[in-house]
Amino acid sequence: MKNNLFRIGLVVIVVGVMVPMIASAATVAKGDTYNLAKDQTVQGDLYVVSANPVVNGTVTGDLVLAGGNVIVDGMIGQDLLVAGGNLNLSGTVQDDIRAAGGTITIS
């Protein structure tokens, strides 16, 4: 009985997490470098895994970044979630910032 309740609970949690992710627009990028130029806009959420991600443009949704040397100098419409070695966060974030890194600079 407990095993069945655990499975049902797990399914409910997974569905509850996945449905909003599927329903929203998202852009995923990866590679050694990633650059969102100042004049570029990503509609919806942006997920980036890169050694050296640079975001100078606009993201209308959440921005989720993982990288070695991370620069965020653009406009983020919702949350910023970032992890990396060196984080330089000087852009505008409309909601929450969650950051983990070796060196974090917020200006």
Each residue of 39-90: pLDDT tens digit? 999 999 999 999 999 999 999 999 999 999 999 999 999 999 999 999 999 9
Indicate the average pLDDT of the chain.
86
DSSP SS3 for 16: helix
Please report the pLDDT score of residue 59 as a whole number.
Answer: 98
DSSP state letter for 38: T
Please report the pLDDT score of residue 25 as a whole number.
Answer: 72
Task: Report which residue type is found at 31.
Answer: G
Please report the pLDDT score of residue 47 as a whole number.
Answer: 97
Q: Both tokens of residue 90?
A: 């000087």
**CB-side exposure of 35: number of CA atoms within 13 Å?**
4
Task: Report which residue type is found at 37.
Answer: A
pTM of the full predicted structure?
A: 0.77
Please state, in angstroms and as integers, the Cα–Cα distance from residue 52 to each residue in 10, 29, 41, 72, 90, following that order: 36, 12, 19, 11, 16
